[in-house]
Structure 1
Amino acid sequence: MATVVSKTETMGGTPSQNTTTSSVKRKAVFIKVEELKPGTNGHNLNVKVVSSNTVLQKGRAASQHLRHTRIAECLVGDETGTIVFTARNEQVDMMKAGATVNLRNAKIDMFRGSMRLAVDKWGRVEVTEPAKFVAKEDNNLSLVEYELVNVVEE
């Protein structure tokens, strides 16, 4: 016969004693651009904006409460390589060429077989002090084309 025990009981206390826990945030672990892989998420990067190119700007005049949609493709990178970052709405204003930004909880989206970096509503884009590194533009991870292959096990 199995017995279910709550987490607070296994820590040696009663449920009322251990209900006030403080939330301690972990220190963010930053990775380099060359470490990015397709289909991954939760990345923290410190990158420099090489270029920014607005690809879509849509406004809706019919309704006042709907906001404008803006999308820009920005080439960002560090000393290990570069990748295309898809900036949306407020993020577009921060992605000026030469700016250094921290990307928190970034994910890799696949677009036409190539990797694109993006930060959704669960992540954060913040401008930081200028970095001392120079982006390595000859290692663009977005130029590598990937193909989805189904492996059949026999």
Structure 2
Amino acid sequence: MDALFQEEWSEPIPRPKASPEINKSDEASHPYDIWDDSAARISAVSPGNRTLITTESGIQWERLAATTEKSVNFMEIVYEPGTESLELGALATHHGYEYAYCLEGEVEVVIGDLMLTLSKDHSIGFDSSIPHKFRNIGSVRFRGIWFTHWCDGPRNWKLIK
């Protein structure tokens, strides 16, 4: 292992500190409420507590981490067979970068003039200002992990037909 890597990761992880003012009347509050502000930098989300958005076309975006960082999204995305990110022929462009990893199935990816198929264990990263769209061309659902950085959300997407 790289010595620099070992040095960086050998630092002790700061532990949350309990507040000395805690009393029995505070039992109903969430246990993380007694931690210092480092708890706001940690996100552990169980499967039953994730935010799920289903688009009109049936695409599912499930948030895998709930952090206060507004410029980052970490999601599982599901495309059922035949679904696509935009109406036929349209491409989207917006600020940011996208990174994707395919867990199962396959999805056709169009980025600018490039068309490729993202299939199991393959990944891609691209500048979201390049016109793009996704479509499940297979007979099984596509599941992938998406990480977006500096994306400003669908309200600021520009559609290109």
Which bracket does the TM-score occupy, shorter chain normalised?
Answer: under 0.3
1 or 2, which has the higher helix percentage?
2
Q: Normalising by structure 1, what TM-score?
A: 0.25
Q: Normalising by structure 2, what TM-score?
A: 0.24
